[in-house]
Amino acid sequence: MSYASQLLDSYPRTFNVDAKVLASAIDALTDCAQACTADADDDLSEPNVAELVKCIRLCLDCADICMTTAGVTSRQTEYDANVTRPLLEACIASCKSCGDECERHAMMHAHCQVCEQACRRCEQACRQLLDAMK
């Protein structure tokens, strides 16, 4: 059981969203943030780095956005849907853009394939959390 799950279990108040869906999203977000950071770095090491500039840029954005979304969704106290909802929308858009770009390089670079998977899984987990919040 991930720390995210354990900490939701020991949260002192109640919360209005399914804990399993929430924990899955938090885990997918932190995983995706790390994968994007690492993939941007892998791209920098490639001989064809000039062709990977868009991938690097989208990975840097996606890492930042996923990390921030992980923080905001980890906080349950005085939860504010007006903030969480548009942030999840932005995170879904970022995972989509980054995943699509990684896919274009997945045949040539195994690290882009791994990062694409992390982005797709995170996009899906954020969509499920957004649905569960409704």
Note the residues at the interface with a second copy (CB under 8 A): 2-4, 6-13, 26, 30-31, 33-35, 37-42, 44-46, 49-50, 53-54, 56-58, 60-61, 63-65, 67-68, 70-72, 74-78, 80, 82-83, 86-87, 89-90, 93-94, 96-97, 109-111, 113-115, 118
CA distances to 33, 77, 82 from 64, rounded to whole Å, are 7, 22, 20
Which residues, other chains included, contact 126 with Cβ-Cβ below 8 Å and sequence gap of 6+?
25, 28, 29, 69, 88, 91, 92, 95
Distance CA 35, CA 13 (A): 32
The minimum distance between CB 128 and a second copy, in angstroms, equals: 18
Q: Compare residues 17 and 39 and give the one whose CB is closer to a second copy.
A: 39
Q: Compare residues 76 and 128 and give the one whose CB is closer to a second copy.
A: 76
